[in-house]
Structure 1
Amino acid sequence: MIILGSTGSVGRQALEVAELFNLPIEALSAGRNVQLLNAQIAAHKPKKIAILEKQDYPHLQVPAGTEVFIGGEGIAQMVASSQSPLVLNALVGFSGLEPSLCAFKAGKTLALANKESLVVGGWLLKGAHILPIDSEHFALNVLLKNTPKEHIDTLFLTASGGALRDTPLEQIANQSLEEVLQHPNWQMGVDITINSASMANKLFELVEAHWLFGGLKVDACLERSSSVHALVRFKDQSYHAQLSHPDMRLPIIHALSPENAPNAPTKPLEIFSTPFKFEPIDTDRYPLWRFKDLLLQEPKLGVVLNASNEEALQIFKAGAMPFGKISALVAHSLEHFKDKLPPLENLEQIQALDKEVRHFVQALD
């Protein structure tokens, strides 16, 4: 297989799964954590490596004969030149779209943890064979197997509420990065943990679900234990739910080696001691949730959502603005661009809008 983003949270867990079940790795890509990448190369002996920056090449430790690719274009070249039929895309952010498109063009199966691929270009991936890695979309995929669409009323994603779900409303806007990163249930990367606190992550997942599941009606609710990952409400008003211990290795194993799923090293869910309660998402606490309906009506606004949010995150992480301004910048961007979306028929047009939105946010700040 090919693993993109091997030094990130999902990438590291994917390599744990590969080692556990002796799955061969043909290619790896990583960002700037060259020390960890070198350890992964030594352990898994891939034939191809891609790194983000040329300046890191002298620090790379690769055996003779290993092909090395550099930059975003290099990642795409690595995917296209590899023989493996499976690509796990665990890259973070907008940069994940081009490799996803490359995998699709090459006829490869896409195990997708890079939600931005669908948020900013889901219509370009129509027809791709996608195995969702997000716990919520994995859960929906399980629930919808062999289920006629005409029987379904609504798909429900669940949200933990993030680190600030119980913070007094008047204190949320000024929370520090350290406080925002204290997720109650999951161990995740920095950006997704911040997005969980702002509810931007759940907006991303709504757009993902729109493209993955053929435009079925989608909604979300709070479920604080992160044990119920998704629900399906049928037209007869009954519900089906998928429950499991919050562990990303479960969807990873189902994507990479489904035959080994019965041997997954995940803990059983303690159903007798886990409280299950479903709550609506409060737009006073999570103001971005007000844009749910707009994004589902015009899902190509996902380009604006992602670009504005990525820019706002960078400013917040640099300590240059308070947490509450993230939602304000994203909201201003969505309002500004909602009636002026250009044609988005190819990667180049999406990249142009992405750049325009980033400049807009930078000017606002």
Structure 2
Amino acid sequence: MSKVTKTDQAQKSAEKGYENPLVAVSDEENLPALSNPALHRYLQEISQYELLTREETDELAIRFREEGDQDAAYRLVSSNLRLVVKVAMDFQKYWMQNFMDLIQEGNVGLVQATKKFDPYRGVKFSYYAAYWIRAYVLKFIMDNWRLVKIGTTQAQRKLFFSLNKERKLLEAQGFQAEPKLLAERLNVKEKEVIEMGQRMDNWDVSLESPVRSDSDDEQKNFLPSNGPGIESTVAGKEIKVKLAELLDILKDRLNDKERMILEKRLLTDEPLTLQNIADKFAISRERVRQIEVNLLKKMKKYLEAEMPDIVDYFDGEKIVIHSDR
């Protein structure tokens, strides 16, 4: 369809009060269809669907809501496919890969709008549908802008869409678009503006990609490690082996009650309760607790004598004893 034809159709649609007249697009707006044959064919196909007046739209919406008329829903959706294209055009600068992706997501939003539209509220269907179309298109861009999502909340998505627009507006007015000023204008925290700006300005890098084109080293080889170093790991293993040997020796110096408390309560992931041990030896729960306290003191004195470095190893560690069970 030529632009002259589009313009004529748009004027006629406006005169008849159609909900969503086809808007003519000038060369300056750079519609992606000019270089996308598939999109060009799609625009030709959807231009064949008849536009609806406000009254026709409300009548179809009532039929679908009250009677579940699928034909009415089909006409509502098909007659507003051009609205999806129009809304998607506002987002094309954020998605330079395939404009049809945006149209596809916008069509899903249009279907959702048709399902949820209430014709008795007095709101024009095209206004209501544009909200849903915009929401689905924006969510698609946010989910696919990077391999790692850069906006997972509604506030982040709003900031993503508004940040560049506000930045350009400030620069056009002669202001320097500092994060603090942007945060004040957008009513968000300065930290959020900085983080979103960094996410938008930097592209994803594969961990397997080389550091330089002439290097065999990969990016992941230079990632900082938050875990313990190799020296600490080796030292920790040696201490645990030595500690196990000392505890084996200590067991031979304990009586039956102390040995059971050590093995079945202090050195196991599924400790017995005080009452369990009390029942086995026919003594009170309080007596078992007293034996446990004395045993811990004996263990501490023994380990400090045999292994002085044990205090440095456990420095800052919180040892949990199941004394409440």
**TM-score, reference length from structure 1:** 0.21
Higher relative contact order (CA closer than 8 Å, sequence separation 6+): 1
Structure with greater strand share of residues: 1
**TM-score, reference length from structure 2:** 0.23
Structure with greater helix share of residues: 2
